């Protein structure tokens, strides 16, 4: 449904989006995941038609909608609808008026039926006559989603739509967006820096860093097989530990014949580190903090100058100095540039 080919966007010579190519099947749910300033919102704006690529092509439904500076279809001709982070609702209109206005401008003959259907789908039919000042933030988000549903777009675009909600509402609205995606069958593109949203909603995730795609894969593949050290650090709760190695030695001082004779980093998950010892693979660790998590404790430790996380069962006593035992093998090895080794 969506195909990007070498899409690039430059501002004053800087590439905010740098040579991005990927394909999303019809009905897929793509999440653009990454830190602030990585280019994900710029990508979304180009898909929506609000920004034009400096170079590269965008296809939607087999139709070319943008080709560098040579072609860019306006937003209203792309059959795509964008939900903004701030909702972008009209405060002087009622709930129903907000949903109806784009249909009125487009002169849809079945406006009333579409508005009624969209409000019912989002569970806010009883709010139709209220103004925005009379409803909550979560209800305003539902109005923004209802306005999009009423357009019946083939592509739904979301720009961090849950960032203004509290934690409880975020969980509720994640489920609503997932339900909406399934009910409409539309293709979705969703921008967030929240990996929980990405893992909950996505069929495909593009992890972005400095305008480039570090990895494009299903959510579980990012956890099981990160393509770079950046992905390993950014995805996962808690993020993976990256242990420095040098010439086959952990922390550059504990030799291990299982490690390659290179400089770089070994990836270890928190659950890979055992809190036991002494032994040949045990190292002293300084306890920095402890957080309860799902009946266990997530520990932050300092080992050989490197901060790591480990999982501690409730029965393990916590002391200022502890022993951490390394596993027999590392999950993944990255070179000094952060690229994964075969």
Provide the 10 A C-beta neighbour count for residue 317.
Answer: 7
3-class SS of residue 90: coil
CATH classification for the domain delimited by 2-229, as one of 3.30.1050.10, 1.10.3470.10, 3.40.50.720, 3.40.50.300: 3.40.50.300
pLDDT of 329: 85
- What is the tens place of the pLDDT at every residue in 233-275? 999 888 899 999 998 899 888 888 888 888 999 999 999 999 9
pLDDT band for position 135 (cuts 50, 70, 90): very high
Q: Helices 111-121 and 137-151 sit at what angle, rounded to 10 degrees?
A: 140
Is 32 in contact with 201 (CB distance < 8 Å)? no
- For the domain bounded by 238-335, which CATH number is listed? 2.40.50.140
Nearest to 103 by CA among 113, 93, 89, 88: 113
- What is the tens place of the pLDDT at every residue in 278-300? 888 899 999 999 999 888 999 99
Examine the pLDDT at 277 and tell me if it is beyond 80.
no
Arithmetic mean of pLDDT over the chain: 93
Give pTM, 2 decimals.
Answer: 0.90
Spans of all domains in the chain: 2-229, 238-335
């Amino acid at each position: 449904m969506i195909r990007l080919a070498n899409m690039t966007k430059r501002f004053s010579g800087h590439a905010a989006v740098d040579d991005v190519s990927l394909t999303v099947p019809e009905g897929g749910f793509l999440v653009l995941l990454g830190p602030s300033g990585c280019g994900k919102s710029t990508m979304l704006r180009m898909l929506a038609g609000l920004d034009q690529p400096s170079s590269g092509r965008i296809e939607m439904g087999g139709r070319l909608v943008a080709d560098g500076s040579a072609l860019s279809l306006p937003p209203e001709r792309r059959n795509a609808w964008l939900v903004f982070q701030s909702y972008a609702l009209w405060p002087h209109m009622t709930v129903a008026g907000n949903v109806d206005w784009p249909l009125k401008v487009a002169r849809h003959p079945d406006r009333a039926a579409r508005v009624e259907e969209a409000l019912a789908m989002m569970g806010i039919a009883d709010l139709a006559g209220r103004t925005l000042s009379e409803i909550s933030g979560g209800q305003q988000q539902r109005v923004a989603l209802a306005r999009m549903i009423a357009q019946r777009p083939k592509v739904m675009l979301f720009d961090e739509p849950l960032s203004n909600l509290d934690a409880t509402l975020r969980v509720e609205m994640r489920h609503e967006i997932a339900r909406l995606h399934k009910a409409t069958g539309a293709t979705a593109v969703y921008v967030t820096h929240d990996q929980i949203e990405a893992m909950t909603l996505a069929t495909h995730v593009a992890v972005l860093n400095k305008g480039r795609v570090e990895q494009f894969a299903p959510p579980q593949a990012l956890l099981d097989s990160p393509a770079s050290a950046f992905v390993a650090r950014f995805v996962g709760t808690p993020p993976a530990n990256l242990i420095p190695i040098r010439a086959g030695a952990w922390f550059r001082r504990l030799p291990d014949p299982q490690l390659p004779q290179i400089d770089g980093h070994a990836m270890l998950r928190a659950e890979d580190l055992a809190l036991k010892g002494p032994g040949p693979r045990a190292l002293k660790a300084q306890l920095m903090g402890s957080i309860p998590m799902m009946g266990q404790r997530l520990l932050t430790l300092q080992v050989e100058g490197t901060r790591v996380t480990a999982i501690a069962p409730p029965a393990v006593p916590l002391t200022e100095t502890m022993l951490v035992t390394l596993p027999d093998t590392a999950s993944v090895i990255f070179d000094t540039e952060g690229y994964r080794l075969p």
